[in-house]
């Protein structure tokens, strides 16, 4: 049943998940009124920082995947998601 989920495929899915998180953060930035020409609020900055953190984590996962460290890539993704959630809970409360 799980034969399709090889380590490289799991790393690819993990990378895709980080990209979805980054895109969702950018879309949330626009949803709350970002890019309207006004100075950025703290909420808008929070979502931009979150998107940047997710993209940076995605680049690290891509590098790990490219050098064949698929297990580490998947593990790094899990750690990045936990860190992003903890950051969101700490900031937004």
What is the full per-residue pLDDT of the chain (93 aa) written as tens digits? 557 788 999 999 999 999 999 999 999 999 988 777 788 888 889 999 999 999 999 999 999 999 999 999 999 999 999 999 999 999 887
Which has the closest alpha carbon to 7: 81, 76, 69? 69
Asked whether 18 and 76 are in contact (CB, 8 A), the reply is no
How far is residue 3's CA from residue 37's CA, in Å, rounded to a whole number? Answer: 50
The pLDDT of residue 61 is: 96
Own/partner long-range contacts of 44-48 (Cβ < 8 Å, ≥24 apart): 46/91, 46/92
pTM of the model: 0.87
End-to-end CA distance of the chain: 40
How far is residue 67's CA from residue 65's CA, in Å, rounded to a whole number? Answer: 6
């Amino acid at each position: 049943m799980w034969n399709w989920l090889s380590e490289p495929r799991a790393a690819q899915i993990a990378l895709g998940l980080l990209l979805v998180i980054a895109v969702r953060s950018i879309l949330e930035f626009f949803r709350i009124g970002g890019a309207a020409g006004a100075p950025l609020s703290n909420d808008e900055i929070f979502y931009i920082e979150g998107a940047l953190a997710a993209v940076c984590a995605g680049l690290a996962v891509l590098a790990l995947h490219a050098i064949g460290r698929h297990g580490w890539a998947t593990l790094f993704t899990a750690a990045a998601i936990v860190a992003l959630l903890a950051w969101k809970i700490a900031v937004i409360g």
